[in-house]
Amino acid sequence: MLSEYQRLMRQWHQEEPAVAREPAAPQIGNELAAAFASYVAELAAELIATIHAHDPAFFEELVIDVLLAMGYGGRRRDLARRLGRSGDGGVDGLISMDELGLDQIYLQAKRMKPGTIVPVGEVRDFAGSLDAQHAVKGIFVTTGNFSPPAVAFSAQVSRRVALVDGVRFAELMIRYNVGVRVQESYQFKRLDADYFRLRARTPAAPR
């Protein structure tokens, strides 16, 4: 998966001169950025496929893990819980934003085959579940995609319903290091002309 990205990294290190060549750096940087974007897309697809290989209960717990990693519930596991599938009324979990549970976010996690479309009816049902719970915030996460009417409905409904499709969810996993780990890390450096300019203006200390 990383062959092209690693090839470009080797090229960067092999061709990097003692003094950076300004015209070449942006070109190599652009190639690396494109290769990295391609790698992230491949990793996201791999994550979605891996999630789909597990059962729905696993996905519900995973959604909670990602939201906690993002800072919801103060990153405290004791403020988040999975409600289960039977009799959940369209709600799979919730995260309390405070210890007294005065502000809660309700979750719907729908593990679907990649590319499957979530119709507007299911988003409408979730919004109805929020009404039944007297809740004002909800997050609907799926490994599939949302139909355009579903997206339009979530933007118009009085309850705040955030929709997270499979690609976005995988990208959040990558960003917050859930289910992934850093393999290699690189720093890209360039000549600091300001340093040399200021140093040249500074009188040398007497010997």
Same domain, 104 and 72: yes
Report yes or no on 188 lying in a domain: no
Note if the pTM is more than 0.85: no
Q: Are 166 and 89 within one domain?
A: yes
Phi and psi angles of residue 182, each rounded to the nearest 5 degrees, phi first: -70, 125
Reported as a single tens digit per residue, the pLDDT across 16-51 is 544 444 545 567 778 888 888 999 999 999 999 999
Q: Are residues 68 and 43 in the same domain?
A: no
183 located within any domain:
no
State the total domains in the chain.
2
Residue 95 has pLDDT above 50, yes or no: yes
**The token pair that represents 108 in the structure block:** 């719907």
Residues 8 and 40 occupy one common structural domain: yes
Parent domain of 59: 55-175
Q: How many CB atoms lie within 10 A of CB 1?
A: 10
